[in-house]
Chains A and B, each alone.
Chain A
Amino acid sequence: MMMSLASYLVISAFLFLIGIAVILSRKSLIAILLGIELILNAAALNFVTYSRFGSQDLDGHIMTLFIIVVAAAEAAVGLAIVIRHFQLKETIHIDEVSQLKE
């Protein structure tokens, strides 16, 4: 069975919205990082889809590969910073990350 362009786009739009919802509603830093990954995956899926159904060139595929690599690097750095914060403050709750308000 051949899936249409629209079904892919709907899936990626859902992924994007779920990512935003996770970022806005969850209070754990780890969960927010997961939300960011979901957004990046939505974009990656879009690139592959458009490459397959639209221009038929490899640009979209290459974009997707780079997105995956960069997302991994970002997650590694992000988790390292979160761990450092946990060692200092014993919490990863987002509401506790609020010393720097005037």
Chain B
Amino acid sequence: MLEQLLSHLGFYIPEVLLIILMCSLLFIEAGYGSREKGRVMVYYAAFAGLFLTAIMLCLNFGHDSMYLFSNAIVIDKFGTLAKLIMVVGTAATFIISLMVTDFERELKPEFLIMGVGVLIGGMLLVSANNFLTLYLGIETLSILSYVMASFKRSDSRSSEAGIKYLLYGGVTAGIMLFGLSHLYGVIGSIQFTEVFTVLKTVEGTKLASVLAGFLLFFVGIGYKISCFPFHMWTPDVYEGSPISVTTFFSIVPKIAGLSALIRITSIFFASNNELSEFWVLFIHLIAVATMTVGNVSAIKQVSMKRMLAFSSIGHVGFMLLGIVVIDTVGYGAILFYLLTYVFMTLVAFYITAILEDYYGTDTMASFKGLVKKHPWLAIIMSCTLFSLAGMPPFSGFVAKFNLLSAIIDKGYFSLAFIAAINSVIALYYYVMVTKYMILGDVEFSEKAKTVNFNNQLIISFLFFPIVFLGIFWEKVYTLAQNATIFLP
């Protein structure tokens, strides 16, 4: 028993490392956090820990699928790749958080600690193999997120963001649990594998209650990835939170939630029966509604943070297309999309953050005439926005193209048509920002001092993958496809 546990722990090293990292960061912070030296120690320890975790994840990538701790956790290539993207995104967010002054410097170490905690929750969610670990993953993710949203202690907008996140999160988690409890009652197990075997044979009234259970269950996941009926919190929380927290929210919880949704779909709904047809139809409708609502609402926004929030809703709707396919091609395309989306969000939010830092506002006004003040920044921002809109030669185009080709292969022409129209709407509001930057009259005449060499260098580094993945995408795309093959 003990030997088995230890051998299982061997495959669980990345998560264990992160837990140790979080505890040690907490101790360093509690001991020396009041001095600048202690804070620097926390930063170094956090980056070293994340780096080690990334290496361990790479080592785990070679193994086949493993079921650990009495089938509570599954380690497979798909999950490991998703976790790797999350770790990279977290590290980049930490860098952004240290470079901008969006909240008090004394609280930065706490942001890092909470960030590592959310990352642990996300990893738990990605590799969940029963309802208990799934629920724990979502709650670890959420509870720490509430605190992060209200990080700016002197600003009531920040605490309001926290309250809104908390209320939505609490209610949806409760509804999800209620659904899960009925699923457990009908099926008699919380293990995914056993649920799957029972699901193949359910019919009649049992089928109806299973459907209701899954609908309630979707509320929880849908809130985490902010898709249509549960998206109302997104713009408010994104706007109220400090901007490095906003960046974090648009990366880790999204990747974790979508990966969990992919795993659930591929385990429960892969076989062709009534249940699977219903689920496909359901996700189909949700995807169309999410895309349309996100993109149409983004048009009239003046706050950059709010616009990016609505555009992130649009992107989630687009990624849900890959789930409609119920095929590893779609899942691989989603993983690739997530990878490119991480870098695009990082660059867009970083540039917004350093401009907000100096001008004190995140409205379009700070972008007006940017090309006359900071040409390099304006070029990078325009390219990133074009990439978000899905224009070649950037990676956003490749990601959207792969998803569209996956759904056209399966014959969902109307869906592809709606997605294409949505891309045009998205292009409109992204190009509006570019227009402000290049043709707009300068509103703030002085140059932003925060646009210094260091910031521009980091932005260029983060921007590099957007171009690189747009041109040399085959290897990475094949990697993402290979990772999804072993999903059950």
Contacts and interface: CB of A to CB of B under 8 A. Distances in A.
Interface of A: 12, 16, 19, 23, 29, 32-33, 35-36, 39-40, 42-44, 46-47, 49-50, 54-55, 57, 59-60, 62-63, 66-67, 70, 73-74, 77-78, 80-82, 84-85, 88-89, 97, 99-102
Given A19-B174, A36-B174, A60 B184 contact: yes
The main secondary structure of chain B at its interface with chain A is helix
20 contacts: A29-B163, A29-B167, A43-B181, A46-B178, A47-B181, A50-B181, A54-B185, A59-B184, A60-B190, A70-B139, A73-B139, A74-B142, A78-B170, A81-B150, A81-B159, A84-B153, A85-B160, A88-B155, A88-B156, A102-B303
Where chain A touches its partner, the secondary structure class is helix
Interface of B: 131-132, 135-136, 139, 142-143, 146-147, 150, 153-157, 159-164, 166-167, 170-171, 173-175, 177-178, 180-182, 184-185, 188-190, 235-236, 239-240, 301, 303, 306
Nearest to B300: A102
Contacts of A77: 143, 146-147, 166
B143 A73 contact: yes
Given A39-B174, A43-B174, A100-B236, A85 B156 contact: yes
Contacts of B182: 46
Contact of A81 (B131, B139, B163): B163
B189 A43 contact: no
Contacts of B135: 63, 66-67, 70
B438 to A, nearest CB: 26
A94 to B, nearest CB: 8
Nearest to B131: A63
What 5 pairs across the A-B complex have the smallest Cβ distances? A39-B174, A46-B181, A50-B185, A43-B177, A55-B188
Contacts of A85: 150, 156, 159-160, 162-163
